[in-house]
Amino acid sequence: MDEAKLQAFLGQFVTDMAASMSGVMTNIGHKLGLYKLMAGAGPITPAELALKTGIHQRYVLEWLNNQAAGGYVTYDPIERTYELPEEHAMVLANEASPVFMAPGLETVASMWLDEDLILNAFRSGKGIGWHEHHPRLFCGVEAFFKTGYRAHLTTEWIPALEGVEEKLKAGAKVADVGCGHGASTIIMAQMYPNSSFWGFDFHDKSIEVARQRAGEAGVADRVRFEVAAAKDFPGSDYDLVCFMDCLHDLGDPVGAAKHTREVLADDGTMLLVEPFAGNNVEDNLNPVGRLFYAGSTAICTPNSLSQEVGLGLGAQAGFSRLNHVMSQAGFSRFRRATQTPFNLILEARP
């Protein structure tokens, strides 16, 4: 027994346990607006923050100490004040920030709430359909991915595709498959008002929310949301068909890609946004890989196994496996258009 190795791992486990429990505190800080009130406020006392929020001071003090212990806020022991650094506010408080991440913890909360479902799936080998998860998952996924879509989709990802942005500006026909609450569909519709957009998802409750979001965003006149599966969504001659962070969740991604190829215009494009991953397990043994493997185990792979074929690509499929899927579906060209630390942006053409 290597005592030093034991102590080091024990320290890692305690750190992980503290992070897990503190995730609840972060979610509370987000939902109660504590981070927003601290952003740009400079050093603040618990009494001042409690007065601003209307929250009991004793709870504010304990919460602030947790945040200081985790390095989310700084603490001045002389003045006994707390401060949210500007950089941290970009992640925790600023909804317009390209790195705003706080709402994503709803996804973590849903995994705990679905623990019994996941345990049963492990034992039985059966899947868990998207619709079977706790509703907090749907909002958490929307919030987590929306930050990336808002920051990159129309500014970097679509411009990286061959000739697609020009078509969208002039007026194109676009399908967004697996659209969920419609975040990506609506962002594209706002940027390209001359184009028409269809969002498809098999989860009827998500489509209801997407329609509401489109109305709120003022794009309901050029966006239609319909309940449809990835292998048989309606329409034809699409200039662009998007699969945003969802192809790996499908039971039959090859079948979905084949159908997409059939409904594309002759010079159409398939945009595939997938979680960032290398081709080998050892390439993904890092914090981002750890995050996505966890989500894949509890959410993505079970959804695939709940459907016909049940290929179970998983969230860390990587370029090589996705390339094989596209080849089986009949696409002759497939390339990595660009990437971020969280995403692979891939382009497929007939």
In a domain, 97, yes or no: no
Same domain, 135 and 173: yes
User: Residue 63 is part of a domain; what is its CATH number?
Assistant: 1.10.10.10
Same domain, 139 and 41: no
Query: For residue 256, which of 325, 155, 196, 350 has the smallest C-alpha distance?
Result: 325
Same domain, 33 and 162: no
Total domains in the fold of the chain: 2
- Alpha-carbon distance of 205 to 203, in angstroms, equals 6
Give the structural domain span for 334: 102-349
In a domain, 85, yes or no: yes
- Which pLDDT does position 135 carry in this prediction? 94
Same domain, 57 and 156: no
Same domain, 68 and 172: no
Element housing 344 (H / E): strand 343-349
Partnered with residue 224 across adjacent β-strands are 198
Q: Are 257 and 247 in contact (CB under 8 A)?
A: yes
Same domain, 45 and 137: no
| Single residue among 66, 92, 118 that ends a domain in this structure | 92
DSSP annotation of 299 reads I
| Single residue among 47, 70, 92 that ends a domain in this structure | 92
Instruction: State both tokens at 336.
Output: 């990595």
User: Would you call 243 helix, strand, or coil by DSSP?
Assistant: strand
Same domain, 79 and 130: no
Reported as half-sphere exposure (CB side, CA atoms, 13 A), residue 215 has a value of 6
CA distances from 261 to 161, 308, 328, 330 (A): 17, 20, 11, 7
Instruction: State both tokens at 343.
Output: 């995403």
Same domain, 63 and 106: no
Same domain, 168 and 81: no
DSSP annotation of 72 reads S
pTM above 0.75, yes or no: yes
User: Residue 300 is part of a domain; what is its CATH number?
Assistant: 3.40.50.150
Instruction: State both tokens at 71.
Output: 């390095």
- Which pLDDT does position 208 carry in this prediction? 97
Q: Which amino acid is at 35?
A: Y
The distance in angstroms from the start CA to the end CA of the chain is 57
Partnered with residue 241 across adjacent β-strands are 175, 270
Same domain, 284 and 148: yes
Same domain, 149 and 62: no
Same domain, 35 and 153: no
Q: What are the backbone angles phi and psi of residue 220, rounded to the nearest 5°? A: -60, -20
pLDDT < 70 stretches in the chain: none
